[in-house]
Amino acid sequence: MRQALPDYPWDAMEPYAATAAEHPEGALNLSVGSPVDPTPASVREALASATDAHGYPATAGSSELREAIAEWFARRRGVTVPADAVLPTVGSKELVALLPFLLGIGAGEAVVFPSIAYPSYAMGAALVGADAVAADDPAEWPEHTKLVWINSPSNPDGRVLDVEALRAAVERARELGAVIAGDECYAEFGWDAPWDERPIPSILDPRVVGDDHRGVLSIYSLSKQSNLAGYRAAFLAGDPELVSQLLTVRKHAGLMLPAPVQAAMVAALADEAHVDEQRARYRGRRDTLRPALEAAGFEIEGSEAGLYLWATRGEDAWDAVAEFARLGVIVGPGHFYGDHSPRHVRLALTAPDAHIAAAAARIRDAATRTT
C-alpha cells in the first residue's frame, strides 16, 4: 500500500514570499532552479518543423534520437553505449519518482539516496511503499536495498563524486543485488578545482565500471544545459537488459515523449556552442553572488558544481530564510533537502543577471549596515 505523502514542502514558503514581495524594489526569487534564459533558436526551429506529428511517437524514441543520445554520451561523457541501450523520458523528475515502480520495487524493500538530497528520491520510495533510506556511506546501505540513487553533481549542495567513490558505490550495489542510478543532470557545470578543468565523471565511466554496465543506469536532462525545462526532455542509458525492462513497462503505461520534443532533443544534443554560452552565464552569476554572501558572513559549502550556492552561517535555515525575505530575496531552506541540513540555505543561479546583481547588492548593503 502506498504510504501517506507529506504536504508539498514549497507550500511552506508562502509567508516568506509574501514578506519578500513587500520590499520596495520587489521580490527576487532565488529559491527555484527553473531556467530563465532563452531556449536555443536551433532547438525551437527543430520543434516547430516537427509539429505535423499525426502518429503516436515511439516510446523508445526515434532512431535519430537514440543515435544522438548514444553519440552525446561518447562525446561529452566518455561513455560508450549502444543506441538500443538508451531511452528518452518525460523529464527526469518523472523518472526519479517512477523508477521504483518501473523496477517493481515494493514494501519490504529499500530505496537509498543521499543524505542531503532532492526530495523526489524519497517520494519515489513512498509511492510504492518501500523504505526510504538516506545514507551516503555504502557500508550503511541495508541488505534489503533494491535501488540506489547517486546524485553527482548534487542538488542542492553541488558535491561531486570522483571515480573512486563511484566505483565503491557500484561495487556495493552489486553486492546487494540492487540497481544503481546516477542522476547526472548538472554534469556540464563544474566550477571549482578540479571540476573546472576536467569532466565530471559519469557512473558509466569506463574507469568506474569498465565495459560492464550490469545493474547501472545514468540519468541526464536537457533542462539545465539547454533551457528545455518546459519541454520535459531527458533520457537514461546503461544496462541493456534494464533498459529493455523499463521500455516494456513504459510502453504499457503509455509513457512516451512527444515527437516534436524528440526532434528538438536531437538538435540540442548536436549543438555544444549553446551549452558553452549557458555555462558562461551561470559562471558570471556565481561570481557575482558568492562574494556578497561571503561578505555577509555565509560560508559556501560544496557548490563545486551545479547551479546552486549552498550557504550557511550556523543559524537555523528558517531564520536565514526570514532574513533574506526581509531583503526581498527568496531562498530555499535546507530543511527541504533532508534532516541533515537544517542550517543551510540554497540560492539558485537560475535567475536573470539583473536579479542576481540586485540580490547581491541587497545582501552586501545589509552586511555593511550591520558592521
Give pLDDT tens digits for 345-366. 999 999 999 999 999 999 999 8
pLDDT beyond 80 at 29: yes
For residue 4, what pLDDT is reported?
60
Residue 326: name the closest of 286, 285, 365 by CA.
365
pTM for the structure as a whole: 0.93
Contact call for residues 218 and 237 (beta carbons, < 8 A) = yes
Total Cβ atoms within 10 A of residue 257:
26
In the block, cell 530575496 appears at 329
For residue 25, what pLDDT is reported?
96
- As a whole number, mean pLDDT of residues 41-59 equals 95
- As a whole number, mean pLDDT of residues 79-93 equals 96
Contact call for residues 215 and 174 (beta carbons, < 8 A) = yes
Residues of the chain with CATH 3.90.1150.10: 9-38+274-369
For residue 296, what pLDDT is reported?
96
For residue 295, what pLDDT is reported?
96
Average pLDDT over the chain, rounded to whole? 95
Share of the chain above pLDDT 70, in %: 98
221: Cβ contacts below 8 Å, ≥ 6 apart: 91, 92, 185, 233, 234
Q: Which pLDDT band holds residue 47 (cuts at 50, 70, 90)?
A: very high
Local structure of 277: helix, strand or coil:
helix
For residue 11, what pLDDT is reported?
80
Local structure of 148: helix, strand or coil:
strand
pLDDT in tens, 245-290: 999 999 999 999 999 999 999 999 999 999 999 999 999 999 999 9
For residue 2, what pLDDT is reported?
53
- As a whole number, mean pLDDT of residues 120-125 equals 95
For residue 369, what pLDDT is reported?
79
Q: Which pLDDT band holds residue 189 (cuts at 50, 70, 90)?
A: very high
Residues of the chain with CATH 3.40.640.10: 41-271
What HEC string does 55-91 produce? Answer: CCCCCCCCHHHHHHHHHHHHHHHCCCCCHHHEEEEEC
pLDDT beyond 70 at 5: no
Residue 279: name the closest of 349, 207, 370, 341 by CA.
349
CATH number of 9-38+274-369: 3.90.1150.10
Q: Could you give phi then psi for residue 311, rounded to 5 degrees?
A: -120, 145
pLDDT beyond 90 at 56: yes
H-run or E-run covering 365: helix 353-369
Q: Could you give phi then psi for residue 43, rounded to 5 degrees?
A: -75, -45
End-to-end CA distance of the chain: 56
94 CA to centre of own chain: 12
For residue 197, what pLDDT is reported?
84
Domain 41-271 is found in CATH 2.40.37.10:
no
Helices 259-270 and 63-77: angle between axes, nearest 10 degrees: 30
Residue 287: name the closest of 272, 303, 273 by CA.
303
pLDDT beyond 90 at 198: no
- As a whole number, mean pLDDT of residues 198-221 equals 97
pLDDT beyond 90 at 9: no
Burial letters 128-157, b for 16+ CB under 10 A, else e? bebbbbbbbebeebeeebbbbbbbbbbbbb
CA 78 – CA 187 distance, rounded (Å)? 12
CA 172 – CA 169 distance, rounded (Å)? 5
For residue 3, what pLDDT is reported?
57
For residue 370, what pLDDT is reported?
74
For residue 367, what pLDDT is reported?
85
